[in-house]
Amino acid sequence: MSILAEALMKGKNMRMAFRYPVVLLLVGIVFAAGCAMRPSLPHPDRTPPVSVEPPVSRKPVPKMGVPPLEQSVAGTRAFAWALHELGGIYPDAGLREALAGIGDRLGRQGAAGGHAIRVEIVNHSRPAAMVFPGGGIGLTRGLLQALGNESQVAAVIAHQMGHLQAGHLQRVWGRENLTPGLRALARLEKEKNLLSYYGAEVVAALEAAKALQEWEFTAEEERQADRSAVALLRGAGYQPLALPQAMKALDAGRKGGFPPPQPGLGWQFHPCSAEREKMGLELASVGGSLPRSTPFAEEGTAPWHRRLKEEAAGYLLYDQALEADRRNDSRAAVAGYLQAATTLPEDPLILGRLGLAYLREEDVGNARFYLEQALRLDPEHHASLLGLGFVHLAHGEFAAARRRLETAMGLLPTLQGAYLLAEACIGGGDLEKGKLLFGQVAEADSGGRFGLAAERRLQGLTGN
């Protein structure tokens, strides 16, 4: 039974406890127990995945006639949405500063095709990396735990820069079905008021952002990025051998219970093979190792690695609780998240999930407490904003609900947020915007659960 069906079956009891009889689409609050939301395609099980591109041509990538600034702005917006969707930013300012320093050091070598580099840590256990037009580079917490030292971290960042330097993401602008959405991504940076709606332009932008987030690099593009990475590492004073070492560490880290990398999982696809690892070793061996006097040439474990190891047990408890969420076992999820929160009491990801699990258990007092704690630590924690918006809404606190939900929509517009915002607008007396949002949800999710619920609400409001 789906979380939504379970919530609707419990709906009678929930309405008795709450002042405002909203339709209980709790699946929009708990995100189907995964970190990724699929906001542009609400029901991916009914939607074909992004098609696999054929191998890249050896000919230069054709110019698409799109101004570089527009590409950069679109990529920056898509990167921000991906960070929110995949769990938020890992809450360690010192580690984020250290990675930014590595990016700056590598960037001085002329990498990334002139882009300003922004390196962020995605608060997720899966070892993975991603890169976006505009210079956004994301490394997961799980990846950093798998890598042994700073040079290996630098190797992964340099590889992502190699993709930017070679213009590999230019291929996305050649897909006619995505071009309107990519242009909409850029326009939304200037016209932020559109983000409090769920119109066709926002839906197109979300679909384009999803394509970037799940982009599939070819084997040849990976080899080109590896060549650039070796040159960048050597120029910045890092050992080039860190590249093949990072490949091995990443391969070992991927054996920690996550499905093997493949297209359509919410992450970019960087194909790896024994042949690529061998080529990386050969590239790194050309010119020999750097002298020991060179900065970073011989280094031990990175200073942040000990902290990540110490936190591993807490995040393991969190991942186990997440599995219970996926089984719709909210009691076990609450117990697991509580254990994780005891170990890691300052992580908004864990506190937010705990609040949402309490919400499914109809324990609104604890739900509110933990959601507010998550937002105290990270005022932009997207899932907690949606959850607390629902709590306000269910208690008839329409103005507060609207503020939370509009903030959430501004950070990452979602079908869930649009439906709840429509309810907040209706409850607060703004019938015009509420009905418009319900109409947009019905159109975007035609035949789906949210769409059908929105149609029923519209019928009740209009009498048609």
Both 248 and 386 in one domain: the answer is no
In a domain, 47, yes or no: no
Both 260 and 278 in one domain: the answer is yes
CB 119 within 8 A of CB 103: yes
Both 115 and 61 in one domain: the answer is yes
Structural domain containing residue 250: 53-303
In a domain, 154, yes or no: yes
* DSSP-assigned beta bridge partners for residue 216: 269
For the chain, 464 residues long, give each residue's pLDDT as a single digit of tens: 333 333 333 433 443 344 554 444 443 433 444 443 443 333 323 322 222 232 333 344 444 456 778 888 999 999 999 999 999 999 999 999 999 999 988 986 555 456 688 999 999 998 889 999 999 999 999 999 888 889 999 999 999 999 998 989 888 887 888 889 999 999 998 888 888 899 999 999 999 999 999 988 888 999 999 999 999 998 898 988 888 888 887 776 555 556 555 555 678 877 666 666 666 666 766 655 544 434 443 455 667 788 898 999 999 999 999 999 999 899 999 999 999 999 999 999 999 999 999 998 889 999 999 999 999 999 999 999 999 999 999 899 999 999 999 999 999 999 999 999 999 999 999 999 999 999 999 999 999 988 999 999 999 988 76
CATH number at residue 14: 1.25.40.10
pTM score above 0.85: no
Both 17 and 159 in one domain: the answer is no
pLDDT digits (tens, 9 = 90+) for 107-143: 865 554 566 889 999 999 988 899 999 999 999 999 9
CB 219 within 8 A of CB 120: no
* DSSP-assigned beta bridge partners for residue 140: 122
Q: Which residues contact 221 (CB under 8 A, 6 or more apart)?
A: 56, 163, 166, 168
Per the structure block, which two tokens stand in for 337?
A: 């998240």
In a domain, 203, yes or no: yes
For 334, the 3-state DSSP assignment is helix
Please tell me the number of Cα atoms within 13 Å of 264 on its side-chain side: 10
Both 18 and 98 in one domain: the answer is no
Last residue of a domain, which of 303, 335, 360?
303
In a domain, 233, yes or no: yes
Positive or negative, the Cα torsion across 292, 295, 296, 297?
negative
Counting the structural domains of the chain, the total is 2
CA gap 213, 41 in Å, rounded: 13
pLDDT digits (tens, 9 = 90+) for 382-404: 999 999 999 999 899 999 999 99
Last residue of a domain, which of 280, 303, 326?
303
CB 113 within 8 A of CB 75: no
Both 325 and 261 in one domain: the answer is no
Positive or negative, the Cα torsion across 169, 174, 175, 177?
positive
Last residue of a domain, which of 270, 303, 336?
303
Both 291 and 395 in one domain: the answer is no
Both 73 and 9 in one domain: the answer is no
Both 279 and 311 in one domain: the answer is no
Both 238 and 298 in one domain: the answer is yes
The DSSP symbol for 163 reads H
Both 278 and 359 in one domain: the answer is no
CA gap 21, 456 in Å, rounded: 14
Both 166 and 229 in one domain: the answer is yes
In a domain, 319, yes or no: yes
Count CB-CB contacts under 10 A for residue 413: 25
In a domain, 48, yes or no: no
* DSSP-assigned beta bridge partners for residue 89: 122
In a domain, 340, yes or no: yes
In a domain, 297, yes or no: yes
